[in-house]
Structure 1
Amino acid sequence: MDRFSKWLVLLAVLALAIAACGGGGASDGTGTTADPGGTGTTTDGGTGGSVEFDLFGGPTGAEGDAIDGFLAAYNGATGSNITYTGVSEFEQQLRIQVDGGDPPAVAFTPQPASICSFADEGALVSLEEMGFDIAAMEENHSAYWMNLGLCDDGNHYGIPWFPNYKSIVFYHMPTFEANGYEIPETYEDLVALSSQMVADGQTPWCFGFESGDATGWPGTDWIEDILLRQQGADVYAQWYNHEIPFDDPAVTQAFDTFGEIFFGEGFVLGGAENVAGINFEDSPGPLFEDPAGCAMLKQGSFISNFFEQSPGYEAGEESELGVFNFPTIDGNPGAMGGGDTLIVFDNSTGAAQAIMDWITPEWQCTLASATGGGIAPNGGHGVEGVERLPGHKDVDLGCYDTETSRTFAEAVTQALAANTFAFDGSDLMPPEVGQETFWTGMIDWSQGTPSADVASAIEASWPS
């Protein structure tokens, strides 16, 4: 099997981890009805009628513009008036609004662990109350992701919208080709490759941990991918469920293994101690410099949405970047990703009607790309360079404008149908840990605090 074929197989395995959710049903007043499992096709563009509310989320910049473009298409097709507010400190601002008694009508969160916290407070409306067909959603968007919003009262509160990959590494193909570098199969190969690059006068890695109040989160992805591979899925689940302590030796081993890359002499552009000050959105930039400032970047698939804003970027230059699966450790490939999940605080606006449309393949096609591949019934979102992976197993691959996204989307749709995926561990931890001390711990660690001390401090923060 050639290297590209191996990568596609590994990518498919990776995607088999992104199980998601679906929709509900309501009459549009014209005799057209949406399937409450997110499968329905509507002949008039949507079921919602005149729905009005504000959608709250984290994407800003071009990614936020794409959400605005999606909503403009939806509003135009249905006569609705749905607006979008995006803030970079989303998690903190959402908590402030909920605590202040003024939550948004609908939000979409990358942190599913927070869903049941809001539900337990009585702040959310359940899918059952809104009329969603849970069985159909589990079939179309995967039971795994649906279960992330299943709370102690037996009701579901999360509607998965769009996923992303995280167990991947972007690399600068001309640098690899010019120097005869091969795609690393194992983590040991990855460390050895990084050492060889330094010896050849190259800088192996770009990093960026800065993300406003969420600074540090990109480092957590490394710990999760390494722990999943070193210890397997069972220990990984025990970790995020706190069945083993955060400072278990297995966890500190993962930190130290990451340190072989992060603290390697000459491995990191700008030095490891400065990574916390480099915004993650800017981390791809050096890949587009001439010559390239680094050779590799580990980030989720969504990072491609920021390529065009890089100072050195020229149109079409993303074709010089390849992608390989994060290498194996002890023969274990692992597979880890994440995604954004819709939650409803106020359905008096008729928000559920709109969401039932958004999770259908037709509207997912509009969300997918700038043009919807030329096949979306309601067009695309209109923002070049921003593409979102499908949250429904039946989204047509033709909805994507680039071959890379079509490749990702093919694997994702297979994953949704297969219901197999290891979700980002920090997103499944209590917010006090996954959205606070794990992030700040990565900052401390990047600036020299020993792994054991960082892990112990995070363990001490775990709520009783």
Structure 2
Amino acid sequence: MRTPHARTTGTAVRLLLALLLLAATAACGNGTSTTGPTLTMLVPWEDQSELSAFQQVLGRFQHDYHITVRPTPTRALDQVLQTELQRGDPPDLAVLPTPGTLSHYARQNSLTPLDGLADNSIARSLPAELRQRFGPQWYTLIEAGTQHPYAVVVKANVKSLLWYDPRRLGQPAPGTSSQLADLDGTLSRQRGTPWCLALADPPNSGWPGTDWIEDILLHQSGPRVYAQWVNGQLAWNSQPVLSAWQTWGRLAGDPAKVYGGASGALLTPYSQGDLPLFNRAGGCSLAHGALVPNSNGTPRYRPGRDYDFFPFPPNNAAAKPSYEVAGDLLTVFRDSPAADRFLSFMASTEAQRIWPENQPDQAFSADREVTGQLRSTYAGDRVAARIDQMLTSPDATLCFDASDSMPETMAAAFDRAVLAYLQNPGQLPALLDRLDQVRAGAYSTDHPSFTCGT
């Protein structure tokens, strides 16, 4: 799974407890028994805090509609889906973690498009409602290169964030890539290791580095070039892609500028990578990514005082804002009136508010109406409020995570290349040539055309 959920290794006992908790919620809702239909659903969340927050959403639905929803959490979601589809027994619903997975199952005709649901009234109204409330940026993304919407975004994140401790980094945030390079140089001279970096997250270790390169390419070369690269139309050894790797190499890809060096970056779990940000005796000054610093750890740090962020800077300060984003995508594998009712509920402003209200520092809605409704929730958290506004800004271009939108073999090769590059930056030309060899065979003729949301 390559999404920016808080990542923990977890034990079998914790997972069992979480499953039992969800089963109890599915059976009882908020203390009210359900006697209606039962829906099965695969979800990519194994972290207990995410499961507990999702439990609140399920509880509201089951209480109001008397439809039981039985979620099964798994990190091997795609493998489980493939197996169940081959058996002819897919789940009713699944929350897909990447648009690449979404487009794969849409191309296989395994999914029911939202405008073709069994409940004709929902099929007619839901796409128009999503287009209006979520905006064209997100609507383009849930079409996944097709002519039909296939998903409801149940949780969204921005990846184009650079985190820092305001009490440690008192200077103005850089507004351009050259200013970021200047800040990097200043921090290197004054403190030695400016960057936090953690790449370990089996079985997809390396993906935090791919996020770096994707963000750099997006802000150096723009959404059009970014989309060409995702679609396999731009060679890995082309100048825009090469420049993105080289820029990362001068910043956080340089082991001398990373807390713990190359071995620290390669071995530190992603969920713990931000902790040195708060170590003023040594540590690091900047971290990149969607995960709010220490959002699952203790002690709790206060937003705005202990941590803050600035958006990843473009080459030109006057450029239209572009952000790399990610989201969890609710889809229908086995259509029924009950499944349609759940999908409609999850798209509603009521449901879209529940998760952010329970986890305001981890979960965000892409719904523009909900953004306004959550002002009281974000009253004491301007960090979360700014992220929420970035996700729903009508002036921004939103580009889904590039590797999440590439064919699986391409994304896996990208992960491995990041790990190899950090161990030996001198092999970059050979790594890019190998990635081009993978590209030659990874893209099928019917691979959907990726487009950034505008």
TM-score (norm 1): 0.77
Q: Against the structure 1 CA distance between its residues 92 and 461, is the aligned structure 2 distance closer, same or farther, given a 3 Å change threshold?
A: farther
* CA shift for structure 1 position 422: 2.4
Range with greater deviation from structure 2 (90-99 or 315-324): 90-99
Which string of whole-angstrom CA distances, capped at 9 and with x for unpartnered residues, describes residues 330-361 of structure 1? 55564322222211111237212111011111
Counterpart for residue 413 of structure 2? 437
Give yes or no for contact 2:303–2:383 (8 Å, CA) kept in 1.
no
- 1:308-327 equivalences in 2 (<5 Å): 308-310=295-297, 313-314=299-300, 316=302, 319-327=305-313
* CA shift for structure 1 position 195: 2.9
* CA shift for structure 1 position 364: 1.0
* CA shift for structure 1 position 91: 4.2
* CA shift for structure 1 position 102: 4.1
Match status 1:162 vs 2:141: no
Of 335, 338, 351, which residue of structure 1 is paired with 2:323? 335
Give yes or no for contact 1:167–1:336 (8 Å, CA) kept in 2.
yes
Range with greater deviation from structure 2 (215-224 or 93-102): 93-102
Distance, in Å, in 2 between the alignment partners of 1:239 and 1:202 is 34
* CA shift for structure 1 position 269: 0.7
Match status 1:248 vs 2:234: no
Distance, in Å, in 1 between the alignment partners of 2:111 and 2:65 is 25
Secondary structure of 1:148's counterpart equals: helix
* CA shift for structure 1 position 419: 7.6
RCO greater where, 1 or 2, for CA within 8 Å and sep 6 or more? 1
Of 366, 371, 392, which residue of structure 2 is paired with 1:391? 366
Match status 1:405 vs 2:384: yes
Counterpart for residue 94 of structure 2? 107
* CA shift for structure 1 position 385: 6.2
Secondary structure of 1:173's counterpart equals: coil
* CA shift for structure 1 position 296: 0.9
Q: Against the structure 1 CA distance between its residues 91 and 348, is the aligned structure 2 distance closer, same or farther, given a 3 Å change threshold?
A: same
Aligned residues: CA RMSD? 2.8
Q: Against the structure 1 CA distance between its residues 280 and 393, is the aligned structure 2 distance closer, same or farther, given a 3 Å change threshold?
A: same
Counterpart for residue 106 of structure 2? 119
Give yes or no for contact 1:49–1:78 (8 Å, CA) kept in 2.
no
Match status 1:227 vs 2:210: no
Identical residues among aligned pairs (%): 23
Distance, in Å, in 2 between the alignment partners of 1:103 and 1:211 is 28
Secondary structure of 1:53's counterpart equals: strand
One-letter identity of the residue aligned with 2:109: G
Which string of whole-angstrom CA distances, capped at 9 and with x for unpartnered residues, describes residues 91-141 of structure 1? 444444445544332122231122232122232112122143323322222
Give yes or no for contact 1:50–1:79 (8 Å, CA) kept in 2.
yes
One-letter identity of the residue aligned with 2:233: E
Give yes or no for contact 1:288–1:310 (8 Å, CA) kept in 2.
no
Match status 1:82 vs 2:69: yes
What is the count of residue pairs matched by the alignment?
394
Secondary structure of 2:256's counterpart equals: coil
Counterpart for residue 20 of structure 1? none
Counterpart for residue 16 of structure 1? none
- 1:181-192 equivalences in 2 (<5 Å): 181-192=171-182
One-letter identity of the residue aligned with 1:137: L
Counterpart for residue 404 of structure 2? 427
Which string of whole-angstrom CA distances, capped at 9 and with x for unpartnered residues, describes residues 256-297 of structure 1? 111001243631011124423222111122223454621111
Of 340, 354, 359, which residue of structure 2 is paired with 1:352? 340
Give yes or no for contact 1:53–1:349 (8 Å, CA) kept in 2.
no
Counterpart for residue 15 of structure 2? none
- 1:5-84 equivalences in 2 (<5 Å): 50-61=36-47, 62-84=49-71
**Unmatched 5+ residue regions in structure 2?**
1-33, 445-454
One-letter identity of the residue aligned with 1:400: T
One-letter identity of the residue aligned with 1:160: V
Which string of whole-angstrom CA distances, capped at 9 and with x for unpartnered residues, describes residues 382-407 of structure 1? xx665421122211123635332223
Give yes or no for contact 2:206–2:418 (8 Å, CA) kept in 1.
yes
Which string of whole-angstrom CA distances, capped at 9 and with x for unpartnered residues, describes residues 128-177 of structure 1? 22143323322222334333343787443222233211111010111113
- 1:251-262 equivalences in 2 (<5 Å): 251-262=241-252
Give yes or no for contact 1:52–1:349 (8 Å, CA) kept in 2.
no
Range with greater deviation from structure 2 (87-96 or 348-357): 87-96
Range with greater deviation from structure 2 (124-133 or 95-104): 95-104
One-letter identity of the residue aligned with 1:431: E
Give yes or no for contact 1:287–1:295 (8 Å, CA) kept in 2.
yes
Range with greater deviation from structure 2 (333-342 or 160-169): 333-342
Which string of whole-angstrom CA distances, capped at 9 and with x for unpartnered residues, describes residues 31-77 of structure 1? xxxxxxxxxxxxxxxxx993422332222222232112322233233
Q: Against the structure 1 CA distance between its residues 399 and 53, is the aligned structure 2 distance closer, same or farther, given a 3 Å change threshold?
A: farther
Match status 1:361 vs 2:349: yes
Secondary structure of 1:320's counterpart equals: coil
Secondary structure of 1:459's counterpart equals: helix
Q: Against the structure 1 CA distance between its residues 93 and 272, is the aligned structure 2 distance closer, same or farther, given a 3 Å change threshold?
A: farther
Give yes or no for contact 1:171–1:323 (8 Å, CA) kept in 2.
yes
